[in-house]
Structure 1
C-alpha cells in the first residue's frame, strides 16, 4: 500500500524539509511524524465522515495485510482496510469522467481499490464491498465509490 510504512514512525521530511505531526492512539503512539507528500486527499470525504478529507495509511509491523486509514482531521477516526483480493473479491468498476476528474486519474494502472473492514457482532469481520475506496496512487487522491449491484458484504472470519 503506497504511503504506508511499518514499525516505529520515522521523521521523514519532504523536499522542503517539512513534516507534520499527528496523534494516533491505535498503535500506542502519541505522536507520529508524517510527510505531507504521503497524505491522501478525499475531496468529498467518506460516507458519514464528510468532514474528514485528509488521510494517511499505516500498518502494524508484521501485519502488512491490514492497513489503517487514519484521518488527519480527527485522530479518533481510523478505518481498517484491505485490498479486495485478500478476501477473494474482484472488482470491475466503471469510473465516470467526473470520477476520473475528481481523482485526477489519467491511467488505469495508477488506480487501486481497497475496502473498509468492520466488526460484525454475529459473524466476525465484514468488508464493506458496496462502497470501496478508489485511490489514485500517483496524485494521492481518493474517493469512496457507492456501488449498486454488488453483494452487500463479504464475511471473513479472523484467525
Structure 2
C-alpha cells in the first residue's frame, strides 16, 4: 500500500526534438546536453552539444551541435590512440568543470576525415574535456601534442 504525506512532486525531464542533417529527428533530454560555456575555439557561439554513440562505429562517436543542427563532429577518445595520454588541466579549468580527479572527466579529440579515409587524423592539440557528471565542457590547447595525429598509424602500432 502506498501512502503519500503532503504534496507529491513529479519531476519530468525536458526533452527536445531536433532535426539534424546527419541523423534526422533525434530526441535530446536536458540531462544529455553538454554545455561548453566558452564555445569551441573559432566557434564561440556553439555552446550546446549532445554526444551520439553508435555501437557499430566504436571507437568513434558524434558530437552534434544543438545550436547549429547542420554541424556535427566525429570524435574519438584520445586514450584509444595514445593509452597513456595526459592533458595539463589548469586549476581554474578544473574548478569551472568541477573536475576533482583524473577519473571524473572525459577527453575527446575531433577527427578529420579527408577524401582518403586512410589519412584521417585526430586533433590532440585541441582536445575537448568534459565532466560527464555535471555535463560541463571546454576545449583546451595542448602545446606539446599534434594537431594532426594519424589515427591509422596508432592502430598499426
Shift in Å, 1:48? 1.5
Q: 8 Å contact 2:88–2:142 — kept in the other structure?
A: no
Unpaired runs of 5+ residues, structure 2, are 1-10
Query: Aligned pair in 2 of structure 1 residues 62, 44: CA closer, same or farther (>3 Å)?
Result: same
Partner residue of 2:139?
144
Unpaired runs of 5+ residues, structure 1, are 1-14
1:89-109 CA-partner distances (Å, limit 9, x unpaired): 532222112101221223331
Q: Distance in 1 between matches of 2:75 and 2:125?
A: 14
Corresponding residue SS for 2:126: coil
Is the strand fraction higher in 1 or 2?
A: 2
Q: What is the correspondence of 1:80-91 to structure 2 with a 5 Å cutoff?
A: 80-88=74-82, 90-91=84-85
Is the helix fraction higher in 1 or 2?
A: 2
Q: Distance in 2 between matches of 1:106 and 1:61?
A: 30
2:37 equivalent to 1:20: no
Q: Distance in 1 between matches of 2:21 and 2:128?
A: 23
Partner residue of 2:101?
107
Partner residue of 2:5?
none
1:106-156 CA-partner distances (Å, limit 9, x unpaired): 333111111110124576211101001111111111111101112332112
Structure of higher CA gyration radius: 2
